[in-house]
Amino acid sequence: MNIGIIGAGPIGTTLSQHLFNTEHDVKIADTRSIKKLEGKDFKGKAVTFDEVIQNIDVLIISLPFHVIPTIKEKLAPLDDDTIIVDTTNYYPFRDGNIQAIDEGKVESVWVAEQIEKPVIKAFNHLLAMTLQNITSADGSKIAMAISGDNQSHKDIIAKMIHKIDIDVVDNGDLNNSWRHQPGSPAYCTELNQSQLERALQLAYKSATPIHRDEVMNHFRPDMQHEDIVAMNRKVYGAGHL
């Protein structure tokens, strides 16, 4: 498939590598300028924003959450058949408070409203290092949740995920995607397929923002990857899975 990626942070660049290595045609853009891609560790072709949305089957958005409203007009020319994958996560300490989400609107529903295009939620609840290694800290195969309202689009993205050797759990429609957002038991806890299925069911919507903010009180700059996963499992309620 022809895949465009907007955003060259840890998730965007890691996805570019996996997708390029699994024989997709990949191009990547920065919202600011093509020069911002210099020195980034990605695979595929560096292009401008206007070029990244041309002649693609899938567009992956991997940007800080608060940037999403600024790209609406730039996405207007995008072909209606293009599948849009939203990888974003809302963190008020970084993005500022967004009233609609603080009042309960599902994050990816908000994203779809901002860009006025449907999205599939995927690639948001695995740490970049988890995506790089593909396996969990204990060496077991990991699983990823996807949510969206178009089943055929979800099936295409699921096939793409399977090809990079990650199991997939279909989490239902987009309005259900809060179950794998920050603060949920599924979020950055490196679960296998059966564990992830259970974690998605255990999620409690009103608790997720509380747990999302609480975990920051336990974070230390010197923490190793395994420490972060263990902390997430404890705070988010996935320790017993």
The answer to whether the CB of 51 falls within 8 A of the CB of 76 is no
pLDDT in tens, 100-136: 999 999 999 999 999 999 999 999 999 999 999 887 7
pLDDT in tens, 34-62: 988 998 999 999 999 999 999 999 999 99
| pLDDT grade for 137, boundaries at 50, 70 and 90 | low
pTM of the model: 0.95
The answer to whether the CB of 91 falls within 8 A of the CB of 116 is no
pLDDT at 140: 77
Q: What is the phi/psi pair of residue 137, to 5°?
A: -60, -30
63-182: in CATH 3.40.47.10? no
In 149-240, where does DSSP find H-type helix? 151-163, 193-202, 208-214, 225-236
- Cβ–Cβ contacts within 10 Å for residue 219, how many? 12
List the one residue out of 83, 88, 78, 84 whose CA is nearest residue 50.
78
Instruction: Name the least confident of 32-41, 77-86, 227-236.
Output: 32-41
| pLDDT grade for 139, boundaries at 50, 70 and 90 | confident
Query: Domain segments of the chain: what residues?
Result: 63-182
